[in-house]
Amino acid sequence: MSVPTPSQTLVEATQMHRFHGGERNYAFLVPSSMIFELDETSERVLDRLAGGPRPPAEVVESPEEEAALRELAGVGAVARQGTPLIPLGGLQEVDGPPPIRTVVLNITNSCNLACRYCYEYGDDRIAEAEVPAAMTEETARQSVDRLITDSGEAKDLQVTFFGGETLLNWRVIRPTVEYAREAAQQAGKRVDFSLTTNATLLTREISQWIADNGIGVTISVDGDKQFQDSMRVYRSGMGSYDVIAPRIAEFLKLQKRPVGARVTVTSKNLDVPRIFEHLIGLGFYEVGFAPVTSSPDQDYALGEDGFDELLDQFRGLADNYVEAATEGRYLGFSNLSDLLGEIHEGVSKAYPCGAGLGLVGVAPGGEVGLCHRFAGSGDHDLGHVATGISEEKRAEHLKKAHIDARTDCSQCWVRSLCSGGCYHEAQVRYGDRFRPNLHYCDWIRDWTALGLSAYGRILDRNPQFLARFEGMLQAARQTP
Amino acid sequence: MKHLSPKNLKARFATEWLEGGGAARATADDPGPHYPSGCTTIFSPGWEVDATGGTAALCQPMERDLYDCYKTCYWPAQVPDYLNNSPDWHKNCAAATQDWREIDLVFP
Domain ranges within chain A, ordered by starting residue: 6-80, 92-393
Higher pLDDT, A318 or B22: A318
Whether pLDDT at A59 is above 80: yes
This prediction has a pTM of 0.79
Count Cβ neighbours within 10 Å for each residue of A125-151 and write b for 16 or more, e otherwise.
Answer: bbbeeebeebbeeebbbbbbbbbbebb
Of chain A, the percentage scoring pLDDT greater than 70 comes to 91
Domain ranges within chain B, ordered by starting residue: 45-100
CB–CB contact B72 A1 (8 Å) = yes
Taking only the tens place, the pLDDT of each residue in A126-140 is 555 555 679 999 999
Which chain A residue lies closest to B73 (C-alpha atoms)?
Answer: A1
Higher pLDDT, A85 or A149: A149
Taking only the tens place, the pLDDT of each residue in A146-176 is 999 999 988 999 999 998 899 999 999 999 9
Least Cα distance to A409 among A447, A456, A444, A367 occurs for A444
To test the contact with chain B by mutation, choose from A9, A36, A43 the residue with the greatest count of B C-beta atoms within 10 A, namely A36
- Give Cβ neighbours of residue A371 (< 8 Å, ≥ 6 apart): A104, A353, A354, A355, A356, A359, A360, A361, A423, A424
- Are the CB atoms for A398 and A91 separated by under 8 Å? yes
Distance (Å, rounded) from C-alpha B91 to C-alpha B103? 8
pLDDT tens, residue order, chain B (108 aa): 899 999 999 899 888 888 876 544 444 444 444 333 344 444 444 455 666 666 666 666 666 666 666 665 555 446 777 778 888 888 887 777 777 788 888 876
To test the contact with chain B by mutation, choose from A19, A26, A35 the residue with the greatest count of B C-beta atoms within 10 A, namely A35
In chain B, which residues have their Cβ closer than 8 Å to the Cβ of A70?
Answer: 27
Instruction: Output the DSSP codes for chain B.
Output: --SEEE-SHHHHHHHHHIIIIIHHHHHSS---S---SSS-SS--GGG---TTSSSTT-SS-GGGHHHIIIIISS-GGGS--TTTT-TTTTTT-SSHHHHGGG------
CB count, 10 Å around CB of A321?
23
**B50 noted as active-site residue:** no
CB–CB contact B8 A35 (8 Å) = yes
Domain A92-393 architecture: Alpha-Beta Barrel (3.20)
